[in-house]
Amino acid sequence: MNSPVEKIKERLGIEEVISSYIKLERAGKNLKARCPFHNEKTPSFFISPDRGTYYCFGCAASGDIFTFVEEFEGLDFKGALKLLADRAGVQLEPYSRQAKESKSEKEKLYEVMEEATSYFENNLKSNEEALDYLKSRGLNEKSIKDFRIGYAILDWRLLYDYLKSKNFTDKEIEFAGLAKKPEDKNKAMYDRFRGRIMFPIADSSGRIVAFSGRIFVDDEKSAKYLNSPETPIFSKNAVLYGIDKAKESIRKNNFSILVEGQTDLILSHQAGYRNTVATSGTALSDSTISKKNVVSNLGLVRRLSPNIVLGFDADKAGASATIRAGKIALSLGMDVKVVNMPEGIDPADLIGKSGADKWKEAIKNSKHIIEFLLVKVLKNGESDERKVRLDSARQAGREIKEKILPFVNALESSIEKMHFVKKISEESDIPISALEEDLKKIAKEEQFEREEIQEAEEAQVKKRRKDNIESDLFGIALWQKTLRDPVIDFKIIFEKLGEASKKYENTKEDLIYQAEISYENENNLKKNVAEMFSSLEEERINEELVKKMAELRHNKNKELEIGIIKEIASLTKKKEDIKNGRFPPKADQPQAEK
């Protein structure tokens, strides 16, 4: 009987899956594209429909539709499996023999979060007051259902008792961020969320990973919003509220809208802008890769589309959020526009009071963030009195240097930089030469920091790729060890991995599940394992190349330099041999562009 993986691959070709994420070009029997996993100007990312695999000659990213979705969307294997199964119309049943006996910690946390979501949903259905409040904000019944909004009753232990009745342990409930331990160890645990409207936060595959709870009756003591803490399944800078429902529309419309609140997002979706995501309950990361080695929230949005519109409130907090989000998005190479919101009005107010057309108009009239900030700075400097006008001009000059030129410096294109320098000069009467001089100083100050960030990100990408290969091998070895007649000698895998396998001890069940479901009917398991070890060798060579290139940069001895160059050439040759053996070009396929 075919496994779910095989059924999904039968229904979804690799060209169909990858082309729904990035633009592909025909290259003989194969396809090529600019790699979505590293910055490049010419395509080095090749897809083979015959093999059902892809390979990047630039960064060595490789795999099938599952590994592509995992890496692109920042999901684990089960998340990618769920997403692709839903798309292919394949029903997923409990599959792994090992999984039936022992579920992993993460799997139990997903289950407890799902159970809590259903519990909160049922609470809301019987609470007319809370429902009336949501409807008064403009939310319709369909949105309340689609976004699975719920209610946490104002009681200390109702959720905890309910989850215990469903056989979840104290550890699972606490690790999920749903209950807390009291200081007095003799007392029972108590619910984290009480008396709040509950907004579930999902990952890009739709699994609930966290909650953001808005207080319903203000007691003037509690925070307006209470969010889930970071957990083994929730990293605040890896998720955005609504990303699971917005990602298709972001790809289709080629831009995203970023707002602050859950109500802002839901009403924006109701108004027809399903490409809206929100920061509520999450945190923006200034890196494309998070600390947990998964793609960050804005990193994922950037992969879906390089164009973003910021729609934060017009108050002081909203202005700060706009500046922070705009700077991060620009540094990721995104084109950033800002909606000019009326004072004291947020997107939900605008849509609720003035209608969807006003929101549509506001988005249509959004300005590039540099133009938006320039208008704000110059408006603050307006005055009729000459002396005050001169002081304001000096103040405006300082603000332009401090608040606007760093954004100009963050632009990737030199042409764009010159365009905005000229525009700032025209609007502020500051000479272009003065602006260029300040811009050079800023560029010099920020260059070292940007280089450090880039090097750190590249190191994280390589580490993640190496970790993924090692964990796959470890999972295969663990799975084979459980079989009466193993196909391969799993002891050799354990020996070759050595100490590296200790990093994956806490995820054994997940890794066994992934290996079993992926390779149970695989006739070329030995070949796959050999390929994985080749990939590990390539990653080792990459690490050596980085070291040798650093030696070459800092070396001043000509004789040593010749030796280092020879070592680099030798390592590069070994790397090319591995690449060519893995994905040999056919007669009708051009060599990968470097």
Which CATH number belongs to the domain containing residue 337 in this structure? 3.40.1360.10
Give 211's strand partners.
200
Domain boundary among 93, 118, 152: 93
pLDDT digits (tens, 9 = 90+) for 47-84: 999 989 998 888 878 889 999 999 899 898 999 999 99
Look-up of token digits 């009745």: 165
Based on the fold, state whether residues 300 and 443 are members of the same structural domain. Answer: yes
Domain membership of residue 538 (yes or no) is yes
pLDDT digits (tens, 9 = 90+) for 174-203: 999 999 998 887 788 999 999 999 999 999
Query: Among 113, 119, 176, 185, which Cα is nearest to 152's?
Result: 119
What CA–CA distance (Å, rounded) separates 339 from 361?
10
Reduce the DSSP state of residue 259 to 3 states and report it.
Answer: strand
Q: What is the CATH number of the domain that holds 188?
A: 3.90.980.10
Domain membership of residue 412 (yes or no) is yes
Written as one letter, the residue type at 222 is: S
Share of the chain above pLDDT 90, in %: 52
pLDDT digits (tens, 9 = 90+) for 295-308: 688 888 999 999 99
Written as one letter, the residue type at 497 is: L
Domain membership of residue 17 (yes or no) is yes
Written as one letter, the residue type at 196 is: R
Reduce the DSSP state of residue 212 to 3 states and report it.
Answer: strand
Based on the fold, state whether residues 471 and 349 are members of the same structural domain. Answer: no
Q: Highest mean pLDDT range out of 351-365, 374-388, 459-473, 563-577?
A: 351-365
DSSP secondary structure, 339-357, as one string:
--PPTT--HHHHHHHH-HH
Based on the fold, state whether residues 43 and 62 are members of the same structural domain. Answer: yes
Side-chain half-sphere CA neighbours of 504 within 13 A? 25
Give residues with Cβ within 8 angstroms of 45, minimum separation 6.
32, 33, 34, 35, 36, 54, 55, 56, 57, 58, 61
145 in Cβ contact with 124 (< 8 Å):
no
408 in Cβ contact with 423 (< 8 Å):
no
Based on the fold, state whether residues 111 and 81 are members of the same structural domain. Answer: no
Is the pLDDT score of 590 beyond 50?
no
Domain membership of residue 16 (yes or no) is yes
Side-chain half-sphere CA neighbours of 326 within 13 A? 28
Based on the fold, state whether residues 64 and 109 are members of the same structural domain. Answer: no
Based on the fold, state whether residues 213 and 257 are members of the same structural domain. Answer: no
The whole-number pLDDT of residue 410 equals 86
- Residue 34 phi, psi (nearest 5): -75, 130
Based on the fold, state whether residues 492 and 547 are members of the same structural domain. Answer: yes
Based on the fold, state whether residues 197 and 277 are members of the same structural domain. Answer: no
Based on the fold, state whether residues 434 and 311 are members of the same structural domain. Answer: yes
Side-chain half-sphere CA neighbours of 457 within 13 A? 21
Written as one letter, the residue type at 527 is: K
Question: What's the whole-number mean pLDDT along residues 240-246?
Answer: 96
What pairing do the DSSP bridges indicate for beta strands 307-310 and 335-338?
parallel
98 in Cβ contact with 482 (< 8 Å):
yes
Domain membership of residue 241 (yes or no) is no
Name the residue range of residue 57's domain.
Answer: 4-93
Based on the fold, state whether residues 33 and 62 are members of the same structural domain. Answer: yes
DSSP secondary structure, 174-195, as one string:
HHTTSEE--SSTTSPPEES--S
DSSP 68: H
Domain boundary among 449, 484, 511: 449
How many angstroms from the chain centroid is the CA of residue 155?
35
Count of positions (residues) in the chain: 594
pLDDT digits (tens, 9 = 90+) for 107-151: 899 999 999 999 999 999 999 999 999 999 999 999 999 999 999
What CA–CA distance (Å, rounded) separates 534 from 531?
5
What is the domain count for the chain? 4
Share of the chain above pLDDT 70, in %: 89
Domain membership of residue 239 (yes or no) is no
The whole-number pLDDT of residue 490 equals 92
Domain membership of residue 291 (yes or no) is yes
Based on the fold, state whether residues 206 and 290 are members of the same structural domain. Answer: no
Is the pLDDT score of 455 beyond 70?
no
DSSP 230: P
Ranges of beta strands (E only) in 74-170 are 150-152
Indicate the pLDDT class of residue 230, thresholds 50, 70 and 90.
very high
Give residues with Cβ within 8 angstroms of 293, minimum separation 6.
460, 463, 464, 467
Side-chain half-sphere CA neighbours of 440 within 13 A? 6
Domain boundary among 74, 93, 112: 93
Based on the fold, state whether residues 511 and 471 are members of the same structural domain. Answer: yes
Is the pLDDT score of 580 beyond 80?
no
48 in Cβ contact with 15 (< 8 Å):
no
Model confidence, pTM = 0.81
Higher-pLDDT residue of 79, 592 = 79
Domain membership of residue 251 (yes or no) is yes
